[in-house]
Structure 1
Amino acid sequence: MKPATGDAPKVVKSEQEWRAQLSPEEYHVLREAGTERPFTGEYVNTKTVGVYACRACGAELFRSDTKFESHCGWPSFFTPLAGGAVIERVDSSLGMRRVEVVCGNCHSHLGHVFEGEGYETPTDLRYCINSVSITLEPAEG
């Protein structure tokens, strides 16, 4: 995985430690910038109120009230939590320009962010996030 721009990750582990902690699919997506198949992820249609966190390090990333129906096959959010929860960097793989989203805490791959697609959200952004990259902590209540 290429290093993210900006500060060094706060959580640093060897590739051997990441492999021991994560399932093969989690490792592929989080540490090798892979992508899960569309419409197969655990959180694609989830409506549960709570906070989504990085599956690799537990850092809080998105709130459920920013999740929206994009019908793209992956969970979509219109904004991350403030304070550097995520880092965005240009991704020119696959012969196109995209913006990769990584965890601001451990620099694990989460997905990509797209803009200008016409969704009626406050930001006109779609953070397209792999379910396997996140966990949901339901709100108490």
Structure 2
Amino acid sequence: WRANRRVEAPLLTGFLDSEATPLVQAYEFKVRLEHILSRCTALTDTIPSAAGEDGLPSTAPVGVAPGLFIGGVLVAGSRKDLKAAGITHVVNAAGSQVEDYFPSDFSYLRIELDDTPEASTAIAATFEISNEFIDG
């Protein structure tokens, strides 16, 4: 399958390179996809506040304190949900990795933080400037 479509797939375990019939390959592919989907469902179940009623990631920000919300890239890209929550200021902790989607609607502060264990110490240095920005 990979060779026919000239697709590089370093994460596959090689089952698509077998000499089995296309029907067997399709079935194996289906089973592997079902396993992946079940794992995704299990992950979503562990963070219900970030999932919508349908189990998919939510675009609604999650309140962590009065007037303070947190959310990922899906939340940042949902003007409707940001406005519905009364959000006026957005701290973009992904920096240049994620754009400021609605600069005409919200005030943005970009902070360059990596999603690594080492960044957990660097985040403390950003608290003062981000708090001043949020308090406006």
Query: Which protein has the bigger helix share?
Result: 2
TM-score by length of structure 1 reads 0.26
Q: Which has the larger radius of gyration?
A: 2
